[in-house]
Amino acid sequence: MRVGIPRSLLYYKYLPFWKTFLAGCGADVETSPLTNKKILSWGVEVAENELCVPVKAFYGHCMALRDRVDALFVPRVVSVEERAYTCPKFLGLPDMIAAVANQLELPPLLTPKLSQREKPSEFKWALINFAQDEFGLSKLDAVAALDAARRAQKRYQESLVAGHKPLDLLPASRLNRTRWRPERTEGAKRIGLLGHPYNIYDGYITQNLIARLEETGAELVVPEMTDHHVLMNAATDVPKQLYWTYEKEIMGAINHWTENRLVDGVVYVLAFACGPDSLVQVLIEHRARQYKVPLMALTIDEHSGEAGLVTRIEAFTDMLMRRKKPAAVA
Ligand code: SF4
């Protein structure tokens, strides 16, 4: 069976896991192309207007795979740790895609429910049952596919912590690659690039933001370079516990960077109409102010233009170059 993985949303976090697991189940895995004008237009046309741009792009990626695969992999990712949730959009994604599947003539959807909210073994059994039900695997083979997937994901995460970006490791991510990088100088500024991976690494949605920042000579620091447990610990330094794991990672990143003076400035990419981001944005801005770290928030949607982005990046990086180091926080 040819199974399609849309190159959007949690693709950037879990592709090694999903691809290895599905291959272990005997599937031929296909991924959709990089986001482009056609893909985003498809998504914008069919998705509800009030959805965030990465979810709209996800619809377009399903369309891009429509004639190439026998089934689309659209898991319901409820929770990736105990007593926490992902964004509500990830819980409802299979329903949202199923609602337009007939109209768009999409192939059947594979929608395992992945949750670790009560205990981590929920996740393991959901995938073993999925492999048995959908692919007819024996329990032994399903466990072997799961183990191989875990090893692939671990290797991916270790490479990220070692300093690679998802774009260096995921297949065919050329668009957001830096074409030209100036010599690194003494005073090169370190910019923390904050946001969900599907926003910051989708070069079409963010108008090649990573390349544009690196081409200013800045050194980029991204949340994936820090071990997940370090981010989670750093995220506890907020007045109230956050229930969304991915928002906790973002909050943990800025807390870790500011506490350890790892960045000279922060660019925070958030999607228009994103509920979770709009809540943590207030905490992030407060943290940046408290530690006197300049922060530029870039809100993206399907209408984001290139000219405005370039001007804002230039103004922000110029300001960082002229700025003296602030005194330590008392
Ligand atoms: S966290 Fe925000 S940007 Fe991400 S899927 Fe949810 S609403 Fe969209």
pLDDT at residue 325, as a whole number: 59
Output the average pLDDT for the chain. 90
Distance CA 300, CA 113 (A): 29
108-136 mean pLDDT: 93
* Helix, strand, coil share (%) of the chain residues, nearest 5: 50, 10, 35
User: Kind and range of the H or E element at 172?
Assistant: none
How far away, in angstroms, is 52 Cα from ligand 1 center? Answer: 6
Question: What domains, with CATH codes, occur in the chain?
Answer: 2-161 (3.40.50), 166-322 (3.40.50.11900)
93-119 mean pLDDT: 94
129-157 mean pLDDT: 97
> Atom 6 (ligand 1): residue with closest C-alpha?
87
24-36 mean pLDDT: 96
pLDDT tier, 215 (very low <50, low <70, confident <90, very high otherwise): confident
132 vs 327, more confident: 132
Residue type, 123: F
95-115 mean pLDDT: 96
247 CA: nearest ligand 1 atom: 1
How far away, in angstroms, is 324 Cα from ligand 1 center? Answer: 35
pLDDT tier, 326 (very low <50, low <70, confident <90, very high otherwise): low
pLDDT at residue 51, as a whole number: 96
How far away, in angstroms, is 180 Cα from ligand 1 center? Answer: 31
Sign of CA dihedral 321, 324, 328, 330: negative
Write out pLDDT tens, residues 252-291. 999 999 999 999 999 999 999 999 998 899 999 999 999 9
pLDDT at residue 120, as a whole number: 79
pLDDT tier, 321 (very low <50, low <70, confident <90, very high otherwise): confident
> Atom 2 (ligand 1): residue with closest C-alpha?
274
Check pLDDT > 80 for residue 212. yes
**Other beta carbons less than 10 A from residue 307's beta carbon:** 8
State the pTM of this model: 0.92
How far away, in angstroms, is 327 Cα from ligand 1 center? Answer: 35
pLDDT tier, 116 (very low <50, low <70, confident <90, very high otherwise): confident
> Atom 7 (ligand 1): residue with closest C-alpha?
274
pLDDT at residue 7, as a whole number: 95
What is each CA distance from 39 to 7, 29, 97, 240, in whole angstroms?
11, 19, 15, 39
Q: Which residues' Cβ are closer than 6 Å to ligand 1?
A: 52, 54-55, 87, 89, 196, 271, 274-277
pLDDT at residue 16, as a whole number: 95
Which of 52, 86, 194, 199 to mutate to test ligand 1, by most ligand atoms within 8 A of the CB atom?
52
DSSP 225: G
Question: How far apart, in Å, do the first and last CA atoms of the chain sit?
Answer: 60
Distance CA 16, CA 310 (A): 33
How far away, in angstroms, is 40 Cα from ligand 1 center? Answer: 16
Residue type, 150: R
Residue % of the chain over a pLDDT of 70: 93
